[in-house]
Amino acid sequence: MAAVRCQWALAELEQASISERTCNKVIATCGRQIQWQRAIQVLFQMVEVRQATSISCNSCMVACSRASHWQKALHLMRCLRGFIRHDGVTYKQAARAAGESSWRSGLRLLQEGFERMTEADVIHYDLALSLRQSAGSDHWPEALHLMKNMVEAQVQADVRSYSSSMTFEAAWPTIGLLFQDLLQRMEADEYTCNTAVSAAPWVRAWCLLRRKEHGMSVVSHNAAMAGTPWFKAVQVLHTLETGGLKLTAVSSGTILSQSRDMEWQRPLWFLSRCQSRDIQSNSIVQSNVLAAHVDSGHWQETLGNVMAYHSRGGNLNVALKTLSLSAFSQAASWQKALALSASERIDVVLLNALVTCCARVARWQEGLEVVCGSLVRHSLRASVVTFNAALSACAAGRQWQLAVNLIEEMEGQRLAPDSLTLNSMMLALGEAGFWQHAFEILKMFSSCSCEANVVSFTTAITACPAHQWPQSLVLVQQAASDAAGETSWAAAVTTLGRAVRWREAMCLGHIAMEGTHDAVMLAYATAVEKMSLEMRASCDSLPPVMGNACSEGCYQMLGGGSAQVTELRACKKELKELIETRNCHPILVRLAWHDSGTYDQRIKEWPQCGGANGAIRFDPEMNMGANAGLDKARGYLQKIHEAHPTVSWADLIQLASATAIEMAGGPVIKMKYGRVSVTGPEQCAGPQSRQGFKGNAGLPDAAPGADGTFGCGAKTPEEHLRNVFGKKMGFTDQDIVALSGAHTIGRVFKERSGACPFGYGEQAASKYTKGSCIVRKDKKSGCGMVGGAAWTKNWLTFDNSYYTDYKQAMDDDDLMWLPTDACLHEDPEFKKYFYKYAGDQAAFFQDYASAHKKLSELGCKFDPPAGFQI
């Protein structure tokens, strides 16, 4: 129709029977219909009859630009310069067209237009701003300059001017200032609101959202939620709902994407909130909720939900299906897992998860059947991962023949095996007693271009029959280069135990003791126990070839050492239960450190030198002011000691502390045991027994006294710490900073040290030490006795937040920061380590573990003298 109208207009034009106005209309119509050639034709005919004006030229340029022929538009402008007087609109039009390829040419044309027309309106400025915008974010100073020019030229900026200049990636303060300016002049539109909220720091964004007069939309709220921790996002959500806006699936998705960081009940509560507001759940939301619950072991609570969602016709995406399968496998509900997979469109990822699930609950047969069936039915191509999952199912089901078939099938499909494939194959063969074949596979690693890892060696060693024990030693040697070779050592010790090669087992055990490999020690102890009493007796007459080291290891492990190990391990188990139920990690750490903390390196005699000797259990030490509150911890350990009287108090106290650190998520400390305890109160360190210290046997003071000096006469906290830890106890600056990191857990009480205004009970608690606070590493509820003030927010979690969040601790009245903590980031020597640990948790854990071990051995007498590990 449009084409016909254009045709007609051209015909009329030839007869010069129509007016200039009609011609312009025709050009505009052609432009709308993307008939740019026709528009040009009309324009040139108008030029011929001298009817063309700047309006005709402008419409024609629009027609060309609309058809993406911006060069043509520019060409037109240039060609017609001699015939038509261009106006401001022509220049803007040309600038817009030129800006398509080069913002510089666009700006040049705008400038030219400005010089000729000598006036610039808001459209001119908006165009200049958007051209600058396409020039890149580093042009924001020019954008601001343009905004300033507008003010000077008394041109009223409009919302577009602001939104263009705010879109530059300038830092928040600039965007904030522009937005404030905009709000003073006019209503902000949704785009500017969103830009401001997304750029603003969280608190500012939240404040902006709460000032409802700006008409912030749901999108702005979502922008403020994105990238913030969930608990802040929930506050935004609250603002959204109190502002009368409706929660959307995007908002709920944003919050639930962090469901893994929440305590497990919260995602469910959140989901029901969405449901009560009729927000359609989707598989992303469901999988987020399920993921959080599977992680925290509360899969039952949501699995029902997911299934209900599924039965309502909700789509299960791959993540959701895989998670559901993992939940089913935890529930040992393999039938449900199979049913779920059968009802769904199956893919390779799901198949892999399914086999793993079945293998985990020892239903390898069913798993394999489904896999094989599905592969054929759905013409799927199995991946290496599928084969690996199937192979490990075969290994679990001792189905070596099937495993061999699978390997052949892999070869047929030209899939190269990886180390996991070979490991599973070795396991299947080893389990079936084909140790020679397992060894052959180990040799295949290099030809398959994959590396044998610790699992490979362990599997091969485990496959060794007793009479092949020398082979296990060869293999363990090969595995020894691997730092994680501990399990292969353990496997070798077990093989030697089976072969009753007790001397070799002891040698390995001793080497392991040096390297403190827990798993080897365990295997070693089990192997030793299995050996006959006769052999134990002959241990004392070891031939010299075994060396002194071996006989000492033999003595330690066989001569009563193993009984001590067993007792200490039993204590550790009970301690774990105690800590798990009472959440008393910090007080146990403090008890152990205050037992060691009496140590004075200037005193050479035992037990006068103090240290980790169990003296804190007696009143003279326990009643020292610095130890206020620690009798509670003594009470906890008393019961365990009564059940295990052969374990020394000194060992028990240190074991409790190391276990507490471990359970709070801290490093596993390679502790040594066998401490001899003091036997009576007369062996305690007297409060004033330490030269240069007024009291507390030289334990540190939380703050200087009324005269401004510490108990050692130091005027500054750093001097005090160096007197206590350096001069008295022999620690380095690095040790001091690392040990102080123990304050990442624990609290200060008004009733104990009196170093803070927060005390016992809910009423006197800080906002982070209330009964409802989640502070444990596993995000479970419970925090022991309520009250006091902590250094960090998650004060039952051992991490480096003591270093990373110190500014918060200083600013927040509900957190603790003692002068002795503050000097660690102020003193030039201390602060090197402080910032190192803030940036590197692994470094902190490593240095902390070594300083803690040193602290736990101060002033100790061990029996046997070399001590032992458990």
Binding region for ligand HEM (CB under 6 A): 586-587, 589-590, 593, 629, 700, 702, 721, 739-740, 742-743, 745-749, 752-753, 755, 818, 820
Q: Which is nearer to ligand HEM, 237 or 739 (CB)?
A: 739
Nearer to ligand HEM, 609 or 851 (CB): 851
* Smallest distance, ligand HEM to C-beta of residue 711, A: 11
Shortest approach of ligand HEM to residue 724 CB, angstroms? Answer: 7
Calculate ∠ Cα 226-230-232, nearest 5°: 85
Catalytic residue among 437, 594, 720, 825: 594
> Between residues 157 and 789, which has the closer beta carbon with respect to ligand HEM?
789
Structure token pair of residue 594? 């205050």
Instruction: Report, in Å, the least distance between residue 692 CB and ligand HEM.
Output: 16
Scan for tokens 């609109």, then name that residue.
Answer: 89
CA dihedral of 200, 201, 205, 207, whole degrees rounded to 10: -130
Query: Do residues 162 and 174 make contact, with C-beta atoms less than 8 angstroms apart?
Result: no
495 within 8 A of 457, measured Cβ to Cβ? no
What gap in Å lies between CA 129 and CA 36, rounded to an integer? 28
SS3 789: strand
Contact 554, 543 (CB under 8 A): no
Distance separating alpha carbons of residues 471 and 465, to the nearest angstrom: 9
* CB-based contact 666:848 (threshold 8 Å): yes
Contact 123, 161 (CB under 8 A): no
Distance CA(396)–CA(378), nearest Å, equals 26
Which residues are within 8 A (CB) of 701 and not within 5 positions of it... i.e. 6 or more apart?
Answer: 626, 710, 711, 720
> Would you call 702 helix, strand, or coil by DSSP?
coil
Residue carrying structure tokens 């902000």:
188
Tell me how far, at minimum, the Cβ of 635 lies from ligand HEM, in Å.
Answer: 13
74/745 with CB nearer ligand HEM: 745
Residue 594 is a catalytic residue:
yes
Q: Which is nearer to ligand HEM, 515 or 629 (CB)?
A: 629
Nearest approach in angstroms of CB 691 to ligand HEM is 19
**Up-side HSE of residue 481: CA atoms within 13 Å toward CB?**
6
Instruction: Closer to ligand HEM by CB, 159 or 702: give it.
Output: 702
State the minimum distance, in angstroms, from the CB of residue 593 to ligand HEM: 4
Q: Give the shortest CB-659-to-ligand HEM separation in angstroms.
A: 13
**CB 350 → ligand HEM: shortest distance, Å?**
47
Question: Token match 């299906």: residue?
Answer: 321
CB of 518 to ligand HEM, least distance (A): 22
Burial of 642 (0-12, 13-18, 19+ CB in 10 A): exposed
Residue closest to ligand HEM (Cβ): 746
The alpha helices in 226-317, defined as continuous H runs, are 230-242, 249-256, 265-276, 283-295, 299-311
**Pair 797, 775: CB distance under 8 Å:** yes
Q: What is the smallest separation between the CB atom of 684 and ligand HEM, expressed in angstroms?
A: 20
| AA identity, residue 14 | E
Listed in sequence order, the DSSP H helices in 67-217 are 70-79, 88-99, 103-117, 122-135, 140-152, 159-167, 172-185, 190-199, 202-210
Rank residues 456 and 753 by Cβ distance to ligand HEM and give the closer one: 753
Percent helix, strand and coil across the chain, each rounded to 5?
65, 0, 35
Alpha carbon distances (Å) from 466 to 236, 254, 488, 495, 526 = 66, 58, 16, 6, 16
- Judged by beta carbon, residue 371 or residue 669, the one nearer ligand HEM is 669
Min dist CB 496 to ligand HEM, Å, is 39
Write down the least CB distance from residue 690 to ligand HEM, Å.
15
**Residue 161 contacts residue 150 (beta carbons within 8 Å):** yes
Q: How many CB atoms lie within 10 A of CB 771?
A: 14
556 or 657: whose CB is closer to ligand HEM? 657
**Distances from the Cα of 307 to the Cα of 280, 310, 315, angstroms:** 15, 5, 11
How far apart, in Å, are the Cα atoms of 452 and each of 139, 419, 425, 434? 55, 7, 13, 19
Pair 76, 48: CB distance under 8 Å: no
Nearer to ligand HEM, 327 or 738 (CB): 738
Residue 606's alpha-carbon distances to 282, 645, 649, 859, in angstroms, are 69, 22, 16, 7
Which CB sits closer to ligand HEM, 259 or 753? 753
Q: Which is closer to ligand HEM, CB of 472 or CB of 598?
A: 598
Task: Give the gyration radius of the chain's Cα atoms.
Answer: 39
- For tokens 């596979």, name the residue: 441
Nearest residue (CB) to ligand HEM, 567 versus 701: 701
Amino acid in the structure at residue 781? S
Orientation angle between helical segments 172-185 and 190-199, nearest 10 degrees: 150
Q: Is 172 exposed, middle or buried (0-12, 13-18, 19+ CB in 10 A)?
A: middle
The catalytic residues are 594
